[in-house]
A and B are shown apart, each in its own frame.
Chain A
Amino acid sequence: MTAYRLASGGLIDRSNTIGFTFDGASLSGHAGDTLASALLANDRLLVGRSFKYHRPRGIVTAGPAEPNALVTIGTGARRDPNTKATVAELYDGLAATSQNRWPSLAFDIGAVNDRLSRFLSAGFYYKTFMWPAAFWEKVYEPLIRRAAGLGRTDLPRDPDGYEKSWAHCDLLVVGSGPAGLAAALVAARSGLRVILAEQDFVLGGALLSETTRLDGEAPFVFARHALDELHGHPGVTLLPRTTVFGWYDDNVFGAVERVQKHSATIDAARPVERLWRIVAKHAILATGAEERPLVFGGNDRPGIMMASAASTYANRFGIAAGRSVAIFTNGSSGYRTAEDLSAQGVEIAALIDSRTDASDRAPDGVRVVRGGGIIDTKGRRRVRAVIADRGGFEELIACDAVAMSGGWSPVIHLACQRGGKPVWSQALQAFLAPEAGDGLVMAGAAAGHYRLSECLDDGARKASAIVEALGRPVAGFERPVVGEEVDPSFTALWHVPGARSKAFVDFQNDVHGKDLGLALREGFGHVEHAKRYTTSGMATDQGKLGNINAIGILATMRGVSPAEVGTTTFRPFYTPVSFGALAGSSRDEHAMPVRRSPLHGWAARHGAVFIDAGLWYRSSWFPKAGEKTWRESVDREVRTVREHAGLCDVSTLGKIEVFGPDAAEFLNRLYCNPVLKLPVGKARYGLMLREDGMVYDDGTVSRLAEEHFLVTTTTAMAAGVLSHMEFAAQVLWPELRVRFLSVSDQWAQMSIAGPKARTILQAVVEDDLSNAAFPFLAAREVRLKGNLKARLFRISFSGELAYELAVPAGYGEAVADALMRAGEPQGLCAYGVEALNVLRIEKGHVTHAELDGRVTPDDAGLGRMMGTGKPDFIGKRLSTRFGLTAADRAQLVGLKALEADKDMRAGAHLLKDGAKPSTINDQGWVSSVCFSPTLGTHIALAFLKSGRERYGEKIVVWDKLRGVETFAEVCDPVFVDPENRKLMA
């Protein structure tokens, strides 16, 4: 036994014993333990294998910077790999397993890498696995990924729920140590809305492991009183188990709260994790400071940990890291740990101080080796001894644990996430946060104030300034009387000379001192290059412990100050965040809202097959009994429309009402065709261009009154056209007196098309629908029998005699039912978007399959619509530019398949008969295809170079994707009723 639970002490509940397993072994701990402290209490020093060399590794820290003790917690779909044992709260039934080892943690085959390490230097895989090139992706990379690595994930469906919430406050305090608590108290007493976030499951930060007395009592007592008071303030939200991971624009902070990660049984009514977006007027980062490891030979053996961690395990968790602990320090921290351990009756094997003279006092009876250093350690799965060197005199010191302290670095991560670069402080031998402006300030140890009294004062002072800035009276804060404090200084020691074995800089990525030297020699001495070359500072801990030493070593090797080397870039996230938390509730149907037409229920009753069309669900076709394929249904629907009549749901079209004295002028500039003189009661086809002269969208414009228009857009572009109009009204022509509103959801709209359409509609509509009274392109309000007001438009997409009838959405189903009843004797059928598509291809009408952003009105055969006489419209100027008027542009044509058994597909290219497929020989492309039941053959719409001059030509439709070639005849794109006799009937 080496590490063990002390007989008394610590903030754990010894009356509450908790059972858990590690690699299948049943162990126990107490409430208040972390997994790491419980493992130490069970003398489990070996907890993982390192990334590359598979070296045995133990617990190094007592917090979120832990590089080694990464374990997988949970089983099945609830496995969380790479969880830091040092922050994982122990719970009854917790099942943890170690990672990156095979077949077992104690005996790991991969450890052979350590013996091969001279072939595995930094960047070795870039050099070794270069040839043959094709092997990298298929052979080398998978092998390397399997050999090196962290925990593995598998992909069963996550059974748990996650939540995303917004929070707002005057002051966000990150960290609940002395500075954070003092700040929160001042702000709360001054009446501010305060959020106090703490990554730990117990609030109190360093006060939980600190021994300096406050008002004569243990510091956690002060923390408890402060938290009791904060609980009583209505404007205060305390968020334990909440890591603030990112700082974003507008002073928004991202934080993840582990709501149920400390329980074996999950309450399905609550999320397991909650992602907070905290909008803070001000923020105080009281994130403390991180102790630095020392880079000495063999510094990675299990049993070697940070001095502050040894103190925390003793003071907060009642655990001795060993029976005989050697301490290696470059400052006062090692002496404090010596005191903490001595006070618990733990033997100090020796206190090795790298400084030759220091005023720090060691506890009585502790041997101090001044001006010394550790050059190697002994032991395999745990440390047995250290070799200390002082001026060439070597000494083997037996011990079963080592506590190391290389000084302190303020935790400034969040403050540097928005581009600010850390600033080197020569006095503190550390990087400090840059000035971040009004929204964010550092306090306490995070600002370089390490003494407890300074932390309390600084927190209170920074909060007071914020209260003042918000124009509120500042409430008082009487700092408790602080017991005897020590000088927190240290003398930087980036690496310990004379290392006999690997001296690790980055434990998680197995980067040692020599790797950095190699990087510098090979020209990768810049700190960002060195990171990529050596992998120092990568992976889950992002160098929280090791980076500062890597910078110090690079600075030493280059002979410059760490200020000149600088740091790598700080980015979110401070610690890893699960994808589940980031997705929140946006999964399954909540990832993309379902948008339903008001006629959805009607279509469903008629057996519609639905299809996702953008956000909408649209009825695709309506199969009847006996129809085996979708084509059978669609062919029947098309024939019925052409011979009798059909009813189709077109509610999803965008509808925008436009008002105002300048509404006509506004639309006249928006569309490329003239709108100004459109008579009241009439509709017109409209084409909108982009500034660059390409077609943007098409639809109809109806003039309902002199200063009142209704425009329709395609389903896909409804939102885009509205934004386009807002831009035009607000930015381009603010002088035009016009207002508009999307009314898409107000109306259920039905297309009734076919030779019988009038007869059917007349049965339902009071108004006279004769050709004279309601001619082609009439558009006005009508009254339905039963006294319901509706809007009727005589427009056609199919080429048939057709109308679109709009009624208030709630009445849609009832009116559609009435039409179906009225149309039954006439052979009316419901038809879906597939038949709609066939009908419009047969008639040569374009959609966004044709209007793909590369097409001008002339390309689409709509060149004569351009109102070139208009003073201006969007797209007018650039329509005349070179290239857009070239004679050999691809023009819309029709194609008739010449081989009856061969269909065509959109996307196929066109070639002259006998020409080799090549870019040079490319004649155009196919945009829309269908089987035409009316013509009894496959037809297509296509764009063909100078196409309108080539009707009658036989052309090759070349489909590389399917490997099919077929012949087609070029023709007019209007296959059906080119004289528009049916339309006008």
Chain B
Amino acid sequence: MAYDYQAVHALDGTIGAVPGQRANHLAVHRATAIAVVLAAPGHGAEAAGILVADGAFEARFCGPGEWLVLSEVHAPETLVAELSVRLGAFAFVVDQSHGRVALTLSGPDAARILANGIAVDLHPGAFAVGRAATMLCNHLSVNLARTGVDRFDLVVMRSFAEAFVADLKVMARSHDLSVDFATR
């Protein structure tokens, strides 16, 4: 018997892709490696320093002493291994590549669409490019990172990903939105 396991993405066959690239677009990332870094108690500053100083990783704040690290180039295991080596005793690294789903919302109405579910002020002056935080979007928790004036990365729990995308489509009802898996 051959054992060749194929991973299924949480949104495979469920998102009801709205194809093409409309004015606003929600891209679902199929193979992003995601790790959560928890600073060891008393070592938040050291962990933050290593994460921020190292341009190799996209570290997103999601709570005191807690970051999400996303990578499009690492495999989940290598991401965890590399982070663990660099952070040493300053942090604990947990693979969440299968536990979370990464999405990118871009377009001129991106902030306006998100304001239909998110209470945080997303004006570029208040939530600048490069900032990230974990917040509620309607019923669900999402880590939101601003990667451009009109561009946001969203990380949601895997089990809620389908409900989240369905919600986002409703939030974007008055705005031209396409939804599809990202092409690499």
Contacts and interface: CB of A to CB of B under 8 A. Distances in A.
B171 interface: yes
A161 B173 CA distance: 10
A942 B76 CA distance: 48
Given A163-B116, A586-B138, A590-B166, A168 B40 contact: no
B115 A165 contact: yes
Interface in B1-40: 1-10, 13, 36, 38-40
B170 A585 contact: yes
B140 interface: yes
A694 B97 CA distance: 37
B119 A279 contact: yes
B123 A193 contact: yes
A271 B98 CA distance: 36
A595 B173 contact: no
Contacts of B119: 166, 277, 279
Interface in A760-789: 763-764, 784-786, 788-789
A234 B100 CA distance: 37
Interface string B128-147: 00000000001110000000
Interface in B24-83: 36, 38-42, 65-66, 76-77
Given A585-B170, A743-B94, A660 B40 contact: yes
Q: Is the interface of A mostly helix, strand, loop or mixed?
A: mixed
Contacts of A166: 115-116, 118-120
A351 B76 CA distance: 86
Given A737-B41, A741-B94, A593 B139 contact: yes
A810 B8 contact: yes
A746 B99 contact: yes
A168 B126 contact: yes
Contact of B40 (A165, A279, A737, A763): A737
Q: Is the interface of B mostly helix, strand, loop or mixed?
A: loop
A902 interface: no
Nearest to A738: B41
A164 interface: yes
Nearest to A662: B41
A496 B108 CA distance: 61
Contact of A590 (B65, B94, B170): B170
Interface stretch (A317-325, A815-823, A915-923, A930-938): A815-823
Contacts of A271: 173-174
A173 B4 CA distance: 63
Contacts of B138: 585-586, 590, 593
Given A163-B173, A788-B5, A814-B5, A593 B10 contact: no
A763 B39 CA distance: 40
Interface string A796-808: 0000000000001
B159 A595 contact: yes
A810 B140 CA distance: 21
B167 interface: yes
Contact of A592 (B8, B10, B42, B139): B139
A594 B139 CA distance: 11
Contact of A809 (B10, B163, B164, B167): B10
Interface residues of A, number: 58
Contact of A585 (B158, B162, B171): B171
B96 interface: yes
B45 to A, nearest CB: 15
A590 B139 CA distance: 9
A166 to B, nearest CB: 5
A595 B140 CA distance: 11
Nearest to A167: B115
B3 A764 contact: yes
A811 interface: yes
B181 interface: no
B149 interface: no
Nearest to B126: A168
Nearest to B34: A746
A744 B98 CA distance: 10
A925 interface: no
Interface stretch (A239-247, A284-292, A596-604): A596-604
A969 interface: no
A528 interface: no
A389 interface: no
B108 to A, nearest CB: 14
Q: What is the interface residue range for chain B against chain A? A: 35 or more
B153 interface: no
A405 B87 CA distance: 77
Given A269-B173, A592-B139, A743-B99, A809 B41 contact: no
A586 B95 CA distance: 33
A972 interface: no
Contacts of A269: 173-174
Contact of B166 (A164, A165, A589): A589
B173 to A, nearest CB: 6
Contacts of B118: 166
B34 to A, nearest CB: 9
Most-contacted residue by chain B among A270, A737, A809, A812 (CB, 10 A):
A809
Contacts of A161: 170, 173
A943 interface: no
A633 to B, nearest CB: 26
B110 to A, nearest CB: 14
B98 A810 contact: yes
A277 B118 CA distance: 11
A813 interface: yes
A815 B5 contact: yes
Nearest to B112: A165
A164 B115 CA distance: 9
B1 A593 contact: no
Contacts of A597: 159
Contacts of A598: 8, 10, 98, 158-159
Nearest to A267: B174
Contacts of A746: 94-99, 158
B22 to A, nearest CB: 13
A526 B78 CA distance: 75
A271 B159 CA distance: 29
Interface string A735-751: 00111110111110000
A769 B76 CA distance: 27
Contacts of B120: 166
Nearest to B164: A593
Interface string B150-184: 00000001111011101100110110000000000
A728 to B, nearest CB: 14
Contacts of A810: 7-10, 98
A37 to B, nearest CB: 31
Contacts of B99: 743-747, 809
A814 B174 contact: no
Contacts of B126: 168
Contacts of B157: 745
B163 A589 contact: yes
A561 B140 CA distance: 53
Contacts of B164: 593
A816 to B, nearest CB: 10
A586 B140 CA distance: 12
A744 B158 CA distance: 9
B160 to A, nearest CB: 6
Most-contacted residue by chain B among A166, A744, A786, A818 (CB, 10 A):
A166
B163 A594 contact: yes
Contacts of B13: 601
B42 to A, nearest CB: 7
Contact of A743 (B9, B96, B115, B167): B96
Top 6 A-B pairs ranked by shortest CB distance? A786-B3, A746-B99, A810-B7, A593-B163, A168-B121, A745-B99
7 contacts: A585-B138, A596-B10, A601-B8, A659-B40, A745-B100, A786-B2, A809-B158
Given A168-B121, A168-B123, A745-B99, 13 more contacts: A163-B173, A166-B118, A168-B126, A269-B174, A590-B167, A601-B13, A616-B159, A739-B38, A741-B94, A744-B99, A746-B158, A811-B98, A822-B1
